[in-house]
Amino acid sequence: MTQNPSSAKSNTKLPFAISMSGINKHFGLVHANRNIDLDIYRGDIHGIVGENGAGKSTLVSILYGFYTADSGTISLNGTSHHYNSTADAIAAGIGMVHQHFMLVPNFSVLENIVLGHEGGVNLTTSMTKARQMLEDLSQRFGLNVDLDAKVADLPVSLQQRVEILKALFRNASILILDEPTGVLTPQETDQLFVILRILKDQGVTILLITHKLREIMAVTDRISVMRDGAIVAHLNTAETCAEDIAHLMVGRPVLVEKQWHQCDRGEAVVKVSDLSLNGSDNEANPILSPLDFEVHAGEIFGIAGVAGNGQSELLELLAGIIPPSGGSIDYHGQRIDAKTPASPLDIKSLGVAHVPEDRHASGIILPFSAAENTILGYEDAATSGRWNMFTSPALIHERCSGLMQDFDVRPPNPHLKSSLFSGGNQQKLVLAREMSARPSILLVGQPTRGVDIGAIEFIHHQLIAMRDAGCAIILVSVELDEIMSLSDRIMVMNNGKKMGILNRDEAEVKHIGLLMAGVK
């Protein structure tokens, strides 16, 4: 670990890089930040962890000038600051790398970095000056990027470097990184951590926002844990462990140990052969190159890969949302191919249920009540009359109450608007709806994205119970931990191609990471 207690102690004499005290922020009825006191040592890598909705983003947004706090003070390097916009925060030496990069894809790296800091009417001279400065910077921090490359052509990890360079170019001495590893392979994550350590050695203070406990343990010096808008603990990383942090985040002990146990594999119920999908420019750039795999009853088939490598499209193909360009899918002997495509309804009738990746766009309709959402795609279950034409509110309500009870959805109020439920409870609603159809094949995309730890535990437990009951589960997730802890077999995808299928016992993170990066 990176912890060095003696250096940490020597830092205490210096003023804090960031010192926030008594920060409060309300959004309407929500008290998003409660009396936050946070001191961050200069040159530290400081982690802020917490579940979704714990107030991490709000806190960071206040620090970065997106929001103004209702009360409280912020001082940077010992001087008190009061700023009203992000421009003020940048001027005060704060840089931020957002989870979703803020880059112009068809600009070069240099143009992107200079954007907003052109420094004069004459672009040529400022560009030359900027180039000089950036070459110094990249040498100093080991951030090698081709300044003339088009951003759209760069892999995600390099785009992230551009974002970091952009912040440093604006003289940031404090760097905030919001969920920086979400889009990276394990190897790229390690590379990022190397860069962060170099930055630290050069005196940059780093604030790392994440929900991945393993990473926060690996790279930070100190950790602040947030829950319900308040900071519940400040910890030295060396003196704590992942279980303790999880406990603090949730407020009760959490089972971090794996729930997986040996599966009882049945016959192959899903057979995919030569399945392919062309891109928008037709056959030149396929989204999916011909894929072959089989999934058996009673197993969880995990599909690993960095986001955007074709897994999402594969899931939509399997669910019938988009038709394949070539090859076939076989469910219980029913063949689906480009000539005889099947609609999502047809596929549903074959006993396939689908928990979509994007809960908010597809899985539920946010302005609808919970009850209304539990019949989405299963309208027959809630209709009466001769042609199943009329919906029965009583029936929908009763059905929803039952599902809420089975899946521990809180609050158990079927009338409540779906957007008012937490991410975890929304996901439980979707799972409840799909599992209530008693599918023999279950397609699951990102089951725990934006879901709190308590609900993750519950959802994983449900998936394993489904598997034990003989259901074939295809699980797509960008969380490698999730894939590793649930899957019986793992298929790794890169750039729309199958990189390999590994059995659980032969799968290790390093190997999978290489496959995710496209190295065989």
Partner 1 sequence: MRRPLPKWIDIGVMPIINIFAAFVVAGIIIALIGENPITALSVMVKGAFVYKGALGYTLFYATNFIFTGLAVAVAFHATLFNIGGEGQAMIGGLGIGIVALSLDPLLPPLLVILLAIPMAAVFGAIWGMIPGWLQAKRGSHIVITTIMFNFIASSIMVWLLAGMLMAPGQMSPETRHFAEGVGLLQIHQIANAIGIPMARSPLNLSFLVALAALVGVWVLIWRTRLGYIIRATGHSEKAVIYAGHDPAKIIMITMAISGGLAGLMALNEILGVQERVILNFTSGYGFTGIAVALMGRNHPFGILLASLLFGALYQGGAEIDFEFQTITREMVLMIQGLIILFSGALALMFHPLMERLYGMIAGPDSITSPPKTKRAEHG
Give yes or no for residue 367 binding partner 1 (CB under 8 A).
Answer: yes
Q: Which of residues 374-393 bind partner 1 (CB under 8 A)?
A: 375-377, 379, 383, 388-391, 393
Q: Tell whether residue 411 is a contact of partner 1 (CB under 8 A).
A: no
Structure tokens at 26: 């309300």
Give the residue with the Cβ less far from partner 1, 292 or 379: 379
Residue numbers 346-365 binding partner 1 by CB under 8 A: 348, 354, 356, 358, 361-365
- Does 340 participate in binding partner 1 (rule CB under 8 A)? no
Nearer to partner 1, 172 or 352 (CB): 352
**Cβ distance 223 to 47 under 8 Å?**
yes
Total of chain residues touching partner 1, rule CB under 8 A = 33
Q: Which is nearer to partner 1, 15 or 393 (CB)?
A: 393
Strands 326-331 and 383-384: unpaired
- CA distance readout (Å), 335 to 266, 271, 272, 326, 460: 20, 9, 10, 13, 30
Q: Are 189 and 215 in contact (CB under 8 A)?
A: yes
Nearer to partner 1, 358 or 468 (CB): 358
Rounded least distance, CB 381 to partner 1, Å? 11
Is there binding between residue 169 and partner 1 (CB under 8 A)? no
The site map against partner 1 for 66-105 (x = CB under 8 A) is ----------------------------------------
Sequence-ordered list of residues with C-beta below 8 angstroms from that of 263, at least 6 positions apart, any chain: 298, 299, 300, 467, 468, 488
CA dist 41 and 8 (Å) reads: 8
179, 368, 436, 449: residue in contact with partner 1 (rule CB under 8 A): 368
**Do residues 131 and 110 lie in contact, with contact meaning Cβ atoms separated by under 8 Å?**
yes
Our CA dihedral for 207, 209, 212, 217, rounded to 10 degrees, sits at 20
Nearer to partner 1, 356 or 513 (CB): 356
Instruction: Return the sign of the alpha-carbon dihedral for residues 323, 324, 330, 334.
Output: positive
Question: Is residue 284 part of the contact set for partner 1 (CB under 8 A)?
Answer: no
- Contact residues for 79 (Cβ-Cβ < 8 A; gap 6+): none
User: Which residue stretch of 39-47, 314-322, 406-414, 465-473 sits at the interface with partner 1 (rule: CB under 8 A)?
Assistant: 314-322
Helix or strand (DSSP H, E) at 349: helix 344-349
266 within 8 A of 441, measured Cβ to Cβ:
no
We find the least distance from the C-beta atom of residue 200 to partner 1, in angstroms, to be 40
Residues lying near partner 1 in the complex (CB under 8 A) are found at 26, 28-29, 31, 319-321, 343-345, 348, 354, 356, 358, 361-368, 372, 375-377, 379, 383, 388-391, 393
